[in-house]
Amino acid sequence: MDFKKTKFGRFMNCRVPASKRYQPTEYEHAANCATHGLWILPSLLGGSVLYFQSVDQWHRMAAWLYGSGLTGLFVTSTLFHTVAWKISHLRKVEQRFHMCDRIAIYFFIAASYSPWLMLRELGPWSCHMRWLIWVMACVGSMYVFFFHERYKLLELLGYVAMGVVPALVILSMVERAGVCELAVGGVFYVVGVVFFKSDGLVPFAHAIWHLFVAAGASVHYYAIWRYLYLPGPLLHTSR
């Protein structure tokens, strides 16, 4: 369906070649800012809840890493989209914020896995994923620094690899509580990628992608809180 020929056409611009960046309409800019900006405060509160429910230093460290990654993602995304909307004529400034936005995704993925890798019992080889995932985030950040927007498909594959490889470790855990929620959250991210690549084809495609990210993060937060931090018999950790 060609949305440009419908009444929704005014809400999006024409699709651009892969070598160029799509320029959102004013409506899309506003939606891009709002769909992640609204999650900044809840992410701060959510990270604080985990921190104050921590029972030892490992729980506190995992809560700090996860809360920082979660909040950092929404803050960085909102700042970038605000800059792209209001001061896009400052190309260098916009590019720096765009790079920070891309880097934040790598660290968000690493932070999302950290509570599971730090607080669950892992095998002798799988335990190396606790630090390897942060190495992957650093490598991805270096890639963004040197090759930003040059090989978009390769960058997308990097995000997918970071999301899939640690998941294999999580699935191999003896304690499986929370794996279903992790899978559901992963489905939200995967489906959202379709809209991430649909700018110019679907109105508000990037904002819809933001909503899928928020939905996936919400499901993963619930799983972390319920199975790794909630006091009582549900708290099954290796520490």
Residues in contact with 111: Cβ distance below 8 Å, sequence separation at least 6, in sequence order:
65, 66, 68, 69, 70
Contact between residue 107 and residue 72 where contact means Cβ atoms under 8 Å apart: yes
Distance in angstroms (rounded) separating the CA atoms of residues 122 and 113: 13
User: Is 81 annotated as a binding-site member?
Assistant: yes
Distance in angstroms (rounded) separating the CA atoms of residues 90 and 48: 36
CA geometry: angle at 75 spanning 25 and 159, to 5°? 80
Q: DSSP assignment, residue 203?
A: T
Distance in angstroms (rounded) separating the CA atoms of residues 47 and 63: 6
Tokens of 197: 């690549």
User: Is 210 annotated as a binding-site member?
Assistant: yes
Binding residues: 81, 206, 210
Binding residues for Zn(2+): 81, 206, 210
